[in-house]
Amino acid sequence: MPEIQPCNTASQDEYPYWVSDGMDQGEPSIYDNVIIWLRSPRRWKDRNLKRYKNIRYSAQKFRHTLSSFTPHDLRDDQRYIEFIESLQSEIESSDLAQTTLDGYLGYLTGKVLKNGEVNPRIVEEIKTQIFLIKKGLKRREVFHRGIEEDEIVEFMRSLDEMCENPETAPNLSRIANPNSSNAKSKRTSHHLLLALRAYAYLTLVSAGRANSIRRIRISEVNEDFFIREISKMRTYSEAVRTSMPKWVFQRVEPYLEYCRENHPDAIFLFSEDENKRGRGTINPKTLQEIKKGAMKNIGMEPTSAGGLYRLHDLRTVWCDWMYKGGASVEQMSVFLGHSSPKVTTKYYFAPKHKERMRQEGWEAGMKGLEALLQIRENADRKIEDLYRQLHEIGYFSDGKGGGVYPDCWDEVDDNWSALPDLNRGPPDGCLQPCVSSLQSGALAN
């Protein structure tokens, strides 16, 4: 495919129906205007930036509709209705993940239509219609599986085994992608295995984002701590210092030694993208590929929708660990580097974490409701469960050499009461007060 060239007019290759320096060919479509805007010389040098790529991808996704209408067409009521119907058809037939589709539509109304020279008032109307279309789909949110704790243990153990015995390690690139350029060799190189293990352990211990881990500077890693940078507003970064556990440094140190010996001019421990951050030691694409291969090698399923294998999902596991350890949501938010606790609770609580919190909240509320209505069902159920457990034990010890068999509790005199001053004494050979205290404890709980 020939490389796209910059221009300030419509391109003959892109629009074969346009004739250079020819007669009037009519008004360009919305899609034509977007491409002309992207190919402007003032934006051409930045064409590979993410913001321009996203505009181009979104325009291409809805190219059928955008190419069929001009900005002027949308001023006509009938043509506007046809535009919305065509766009609705593309949205409803899309097989993209919901989050991906939302992203495309966001760029469509925020950038594409605007740069396609559609009237701003009409853009707002289209945005409203898109909201109504999405609302009518009534799609259920895609389940985000995440990473299980036993998978973390197995994954880390497999990395240690491959690094200690590289001659038995498989080709992880081939497992991740049979068509990879690295799939021809029999095994993954030892230095790549060391890089992957260091990357995985640094991610695990810090719950860091992939980009901040890749940009760790070699000079800022030692046996006591390491420093990573968290981007803020994509214009500056904040240095975050994390303690280095001894057992983590033992896994990171071999790759540090390799880097110092084979990449003496490298700045970053992993990243090797000259256009972004400078010299590194491993191409991010290669690192991503062998990471996916290592996760698939132990039988792990995709961790998120779209078939993705992400160590980023360790951050949701960290939320669960912090919650169990008594950390507040504010502490979790600061640790993960979020702008607000709302981001933490909405996006970083794993489904099981949310379900447990939902159940705990329900039980706490039910206690108040049952107390209000004077319902003993919950207390009676706890007493019955207590009796069942004690009968299964068969013998209850007081810890001082004495004890009682639960069967004798059923022989209590019907006239006996546990109320103060009315207790006529339990049957001989039975520790009835013990039962009374257990009953009181069950009711209190």
Tell me the DSSP string of 157-210.
HHHHHHHH-GGG---HHHHH-TT-TT-SSSS--HHHHHHHHHHHHHHHHHT--H
pLDDT at 44: 82
The kind and range of the H/E element at 244 are none
Q: Is residue 365 part of a domain?
A: no
Q: From 137, 161, 177, give the residue that closes a domain.
A: 137
Q: Is residue 179 part of a domain?
A: yes
Dump pLDDT digits (tens) for 70-111.
999 999 999 999 999 999 999 988 877 777 888 899 999 999
| Number of structural domains found in the chain | 3
- Both 306 and 239 in a single domain? yes
- Both 207 and 283 in a single domain? yes
- Both 166 and 127 in a single domain? no
DSSP secondary structure code for residue 278 in this structure: B
| Domain range enclosing 398 | 382-444
Q: From 311, 337, 369, give the residue that closes a domain.
A: 311
Return d(Cα 122, Cα 113) in angstroms, integer: 9
Q: What is the CATH number of the domain that holds 254?
A: 1.10.443
**Phi, psi (5° rounding) for residue 41?**
-55, -30
Q: What is the DSSP string of 49-93?
A: SHHHHHHHHHHHHTHHHHHT--TTGGGSHHHHHHHHHHHHHHHHH
Q: Is residue 348 part of a domain?
A: no
In sequence order, the 6+-apart residues with CB closer than 8 A to the CB of 156 are: 200, 201, 204
Return d(Cα 123, Cα 126) in angstroms, integer: 5
Q: Is residue 169 part of a domain?
A: yes
pLDDT at 439: 47
Q: What is the pTM of this model?
A: 0.67
Q: How far apart are the first and last CA of the chain?
A: 72
Smallest Cα–Cα separation from 28: which of 7, 40, 8, 10? 10
Q: Is residue 333 part of a domain?
A: no
Q: Is residue 373 part of a domain?
A: no
pLDDT at 182: 87
- Both 227 and 287 in a single domain? yes
Tokens 């069942």 belong to which residue? 388
Q: Are 180 and 173 in contact (CB under 8 A)?
A: yes
- Both 122 and 247 in a single domain? no
Return d(Cα 182, Cα 188) in angstroms, integer: 9
- Both 220 and 299 in a single domain? yes
DSSP secondary structure code for residue 424 in this structure: -
Smallest Cα–Cα separation from 293: which of 212, 193, 376? 193
- Both 157 and 284 in a single domain? yes
pLDDT at 372: 84
- Both 196 and 286 in a single domain? yes
Q: Are 153 and 298 in contact (CB under 8 A)?
A: no
Q: From 111, 137, 163, give the residue that closes a domain.
A: 137
Q: What pLDDT tens digit does each residue of the chain (445 aa) get? A: 344 555 544 444 444 444 445 555 578 899 999 999 998 888 888 887 888 889 999 999 999 999 999 999 999 999 999 999 999 999 988 877 777 888 899 999 999 999 999 999 999 999 999 999 988 887 766 667 888 999 999 999 999 999 999 999 999 999 999 988 888 889 999 999 999 999 999 999 999 988 889 889 999 999 999 999 887 666 677 888 999 999 999 999 999 999 999 999 888 999 866 455 557 888 888 999 999 999 999 999 988 877 888 899 999 999 989 988 989 999 999 998 888 888 888 888 888 888 888 998 998 898 888 888 877 766 677 777 777 777 777 666 666 666 766 665 555 555 554 444 444 444 444 444 444 444 454 444 4
pLDDT at 20: 47
Long-range contacts of 77-85 (CB under 8 A, 24+ apart): 80/122, 80/125, 83/126, 84/126, 84/129
